[in-house]
């Protein structure tokens, strides 16, 4: 698996430090009304788990599954709900926790959809932001790292359901996915 990684962008230690920093900011900002964390499956699971332990507030959390990628390396722009929330978020402060914001289409769609559920407020937190690919006007309220336009895996992020278990975030060698994409065309 290591041979498929071109370079490590962020080590496990760098990620842990950034999650701690984000947790402190969220703790400070939500002292009066702790938010419901809404984690986006599957990629954000490690981030949500670590982030909620870094937030010193009584929290509730739930998970949603949406898809805009399928097995591709670029967002299709079409968002599909695969799993909705199990709890009501009406009259609550909501913090969407996402692994990466790429085109911004998924996060914009989610934000608008959840606003329609009668929430008090809605903010977003992402570990990675790739603004060079933005197609929707959206800016995360809390952001870990800004990254260039490269395909990253690890710490929950995948390619074709692989590499999620890497403890760091790395750039995937292009030949790993270019060969598979040409085979599927």
Mean pLDDT of 95-112: 93
Q: What is the pLDDT of residue 161?
A: 92
Catalytic residues, by residue number, are: 102
Quick one: pLDDT at residue 180? 55
Confirm if 156 and 43 have CB atoms less than 8 A apart.
Answer: yes
Contact 146, 134 (CB under 8 A): no
The arithmetic mean of pLDDT across residues 108-121, rounded, is 94
Give every strand in the sheet of 152-153, ordered side by side: 5-10, 169-172, 152-153
Q: In which band, very low, low, confident or very high, does the pLDDT at 67 lie, cut at 50, 70 and 90?
A: confident
Please give the Cα distance from 155 to 6 (Å, whole number). 16
Please tell me which residue, 65 or 68, carries the higher pLDDT value: 65
Tell me the average pLDDT across 103-120.
93
Distance CA 67, CA 77 (A): 9
- Whether pLDDT at 185 is above 50: no
The arithmetic mean of pLDDT across residues 166-176, rounded, is 95
| Mean pLDDT, all residues of the chain | 90
pLDDT of 20 above 50? yes
* Helical H segments across 55-128, by residue range: 105-115
Residue 69 confidence (pLDDT): 54
What pTM did the predictor assign? 0.89
Residue 142 β-bridge partners: 125
């Amino acid at each position: 698996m290591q041979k498929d990684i071109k370079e490590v962008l962020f080590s496990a230690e760098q990620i842990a430090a950034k999650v701690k920093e984000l947790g402190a900011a969220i703790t400070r900002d939500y002292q009066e009304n702790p938010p419901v964390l809404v984690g986006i499956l599957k990629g954000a699971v490690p981030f949500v788990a670590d982030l909620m332990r870094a937030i010193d507030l009584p929290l509730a959390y739930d998970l949603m599954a949406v898809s805009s990628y399928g097995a591709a390396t670029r967002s299709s722009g079409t968002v599909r709900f695969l799993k909705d929330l199990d709890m009501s978020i009406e009259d609550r402060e909501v913090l969407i926790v996402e692994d990466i914001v790429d085109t911004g289409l998924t996060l914009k769609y989610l934000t608008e959809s959840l606003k329609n559920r009668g929430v008090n407020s809605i903010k977003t937190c992402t570990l990675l932001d790739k603004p060079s690919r933005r197609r929707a006007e959206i800016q995360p309220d809390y952001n870990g790292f800004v990254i260039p336009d490269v395909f990253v895996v690890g710490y929950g992020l995948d390619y074709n359901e692989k590499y999620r278990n890497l403890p760091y975030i790395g750039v995937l060698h292009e030949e790993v996915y270019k060969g598979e994409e040409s085979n599927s065309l």
